[in-house]
Amino acid sequence: MIKHILKNMLSKKPCEKISKIKLDEKELELLNKLKDKVLKVYGRSFRIRQVDAGSCNACEWECTALTNPFYDIQRFGVDFVASPRHADAILVTGPISRQMQLALIKTYKATPSPKIVIACGDCTIDGGIFKDSYPVTNGVHNVLPVDFYIKGCPPSPLDIAEGLITLMDIIRDKKNK
């Protein structure tokens, strides 16, 4: 065991490799912009609760991808939390299947005000490829009041970040009114 520990200590640290990642200038600029906006509107702490309402999992993976070493969204003041009680916004994915409708409404009620509903992905806008099928409700707007839509099937991590930037602008304008 000691041999293994020594070997691990002497070998190159894996973190060095990951720290070499470089995003494109454009991408980094976008994420820095997000940081500024989140700082102004939410004081560097915007917490999102993600709700899967019958999604194919691609949107979820893209949200997870936001926390990987490439984007590392936490350093820009945005994070995903495990309970709606901790959240500023809920991010809904999927065409809202009837099985998940009640769970979604309950999550909405459990989120403290002022709450924001973000619809993420084409399915949430109008049901996407599942539109008019019997087990879906054709979009979040039929269940909850929606503040913001992010389109894409699935939206890439940068699309989501870009969407959040616009969302911050909208919230700021509302505040100023």
Partner 1 sequence: MSEIMIPERAKAIRTLLLELERLYNHIGDIGNMCAGTGLQVGNQWGAYIKEKLMRLNKRITGHRYLRGINKIGGVTKDILAEKDVLIPFLNEVEKEKQAFVEFLLNTISHMERLENTGKLAKDIALKLGATGIAARASGIDDDIWLAHPHLLYDTVKFNLITEDKGDVLARMMVRSKEADESIKIIRQILERDYPKELDVTNTTIKANAEGLGFVESPRGSVFYYVKSGENGSCERVKVRSSSYCNWPLMPYAVHGNIVPDFPLCNKSFNLSYSGCDM
Cβ neighbours around 141 below 10 Å, total: 16
Cβ 9 to partner 1, closest distance in Å? 11
3-state secondary structure at position 17: helix
Our CB check for partner 1 shows the closer of 95 and 139 to be 95
Q: Please state at what angle helix 157-176 crosses helix 58-65, rounded to 10 degrees.
A: 80
Q: Which residues is 78 bridged to in the sheet?
A: 46
Tokens of 44: 């560097």
3-state secondary structure at position 13: coil
How far apart CA 70 and CA 29 sit, in angstroms, is: 14
What is the SS3 assignment for 83-99? CHHHCCEEEEECCCEHH
Our CB check for partner 1 shows the closer of 42 and 80 to be 80
Cβ 152 to partner 1, closest distance in Å? 10
Binding of residue 146 to partner 1 (CB under 8 A):
no
User: Mask of contacts with partner 1, 6-45, x by CB under 8 A?
Assistant: -xx--x--xx-xx--x------------------------
In this structure, are strands 148-150 and 116-120 parallel, antiparallel, or unpaired? parallel
Our CB check for partner 1 shows the closer of 6 and 105 to be 6
Cβ 145 to partner 1, closest distance in Å? 25
Cβ 40 to partner 1, closest distance in Å? 29
First to last CA, the chain: 65
Residue numbers 81-110 binding partner 1 by CB under 8 A = none
Residue numbers 45-74 binding partner 1 by CB under 8 A = 52, 54-58, 61-62, 64-65, 67-70
Contact assessment for residue 134 and residue 106, using Cβ atoms and an 8 Å cutoff: no
Cβ 43 to partner 1, closest distance in Å? 26
Interacting residues with partner 1 (CB under 8 A)? 1, 4-5, 7-8, 11, 14-15, 17-18, 21, 52, 54-58, 61-62, 64-65, 67-70, 153-154, 156
